[in-house]
Amino acid sequence: MIGTLVIATVVLLYIFVQRRFRFFEKNGIPFEPGYFPFGSLIYWKMITGQVALFSITKSIYEKHPNAKAVGYYGILGKPHLVICDLDLAKKVMVRDFDHFVDRPFADGIHPDANKYFCKMLTVLKGDEWKAIRNLVSPIFTSGKIKATVPVINQVASELADYIDQRVIGETSTDNKDIFQKYSIEVLGRLGCGVEPKILTDNNPDKNVFYQKALELSGGGKPNLVTVFKFIVTLIFPTIAYYSKMSAFEPEPINFMGALISNAIKDRQATKVKKSDLIDFLKDAIKEFEQSNPNGMSEGEITELIIANGLLLFFAGTDTSSSALSIVMHFMAKNPDLQEKLYREIKDAIEENNGNANLDYTTLNGLKFMGSVIKESLRFWGFNFLDRTCTKDYHMPELNATIPKGMQVTVAGASIMQDEKFFPDTQTFDPEAHFEDESLYPASFMAFGQGPRNCIGMRFAYMVVRACLVHTLANYKVEPCPKTITDWEIDPLHPSALPKGGLYVKYTRRE
């Protein structure tokens, strides 16, 4: 009896999945065929660690060079649509954004098991997302970011001393390691209201804050339990939601949450303001409450501040340190470009009376540095531009209607590496790719596009720019025996960096 029931269930499931496999063919959209029960072959390769998650879109983009959009199937035939055309991408992310407001990862997040995570801006949906986005946006205005620059400069100076004391003389240095320490220190001070003192610690790798931040951001060695939860939340969101699965290990979240909570209480008691993101968010909430009489309770305010302080570590520390690692890799490989960037930095410091602590306006005005950063992000080609269709959307270009609930992914990384938009795309060339004003700016998608782009983009640029000033003003970056020659993303690397890592050698400038 049980055996018959199992067979009947499998047969019915097979029929259901086979019907789902007909969606793209029925709608005349190019697609990768699906196979019961795991979906398209490229999706199976992602599950088994053969390709990185974001490489799915790259593989599809390259296999269908003339398609405006391509479909593929996930577990049990769930259809996914990859947008390969730039004009369609602008429609999804900007022009018709009201049809694609939500992000799919939020589907597996149950609030009972993810107290802070479910309140993060990146996870919120619909009207709730719009309300919190409007509330949070003022903390990333140019005026607010200007106020954080002195702290960023102080940490960048500490990094320069760290390199002098601990890195100089080494034949090879892991860029990711040193810039991870820097970015976590910056965000510890500005996002958690504490001074971790990682770069001045006698044993920085054992610094408790540093270890917990690594666990939280995914920048350390991947925890198998965390990896399993992430996969279940991503692939089986319904199971993750109704089983009330926590998306991440609670210990580092509770540790960081307690630090932020204590910082809030301390400021309430002492009335001291530090001009950091905690203060900015509290001020933004007060302004919000003035126009919303019902407001929020003290507990809700605290939870919102903690949630978005934690978000800085998810969204900020790993990506900033990876971006810096990639910049330094290409500076080592291109000494002529490094020299040009050094001269720009040196001129700015001389105009600042020899002081490397440049202000917001000067940092923002380093034009060639901006091109180098953008080109590094373009070459890296790493982003997640996933959206959920929130109401049926007809695409005349495809002569098809995208149904509510379908996951849509913009192939932003592939667009940034397409010869149509960036000539000689596999050459690191910041001058050619970002100095020409005729280039179509929408083709640069490192921070997304439209209302749901990266809200902290300008802050992230400041963190990276100040670090480059203090580091390259004092040290040269050179290739070392471990410097890679081929750029191939490691599908198992938690930060989606290339195989072999990003190693260089640092020497003092004369």
| pLDDT tens-place string over residues 53-105 | 778 999 999 999 999 999 999 999 999 999 999 999 999 999 999 999 999 87
- Angstrom distance (rounded) from CA 381 to CA 140: 25
Question: What is residue 438's predicted lDDT score, i.e. its pLDDT?
Answer: 42
Mean pLDDT check: name the lowest of 124-133, 315-324, 404-413, 487-496: 487-496
Identify the DSSP state of 220.
S
| pLDDT tens-place string over residues 23-62 | 999 999 999 999 998 899 999 988 887 887 778 999 999 9
Mean pLDDT of the region 295-311:
80
With CA atoms as reference, report the closest residue to 320 among 456, 460, 148.
460
Q: Residue 330: which residues within 8 A CB-CB, separation 6 or more?
A: 337, 372, 375, 376, 379, 428
The amino acid at residue 38 is F
Q: How far is CA 372 from CA 70, 330, 344, in A?
A: 32, 9, 12
Mean pLDDT check: name the lowest of 166-170, 279-283, 485-489: 279-283
CATH superfamily name and code, 115-381+416-508? Cytochrome P450 (1.10.630.10)
Question: What is residue 284's predicted lDDT score, i.e. its pLDDT?
Answer: 81
Q: How far is CA 285 from CA 6, 131, 271, 457, 492, in A?
A: 54, 11, 17, 21, 40
pTM (two decimals) = 0.93
Domain coordinates in residue numbering, the chain:
115-381+416-508
Q: Is the pLDDT of residue 219 over 70?
A: no
84 in a known ligand binding site: no
What is the phi/psi pair of residue 92, to 5°?
Answer: -65, -45
Residue 507 DSSP SS3: strand
Q: In the chain, count of helices (H) and strands (E)?
A: 21, 11
With CA atoms as reference, report the closest residue to 339 among 327, 331, 351, 347.
331
Give the β-pairing of 69-73 and 503-508.
Answer: unpaired
- Angstrom distance (rounded) from CA 115 to CA 121: 13
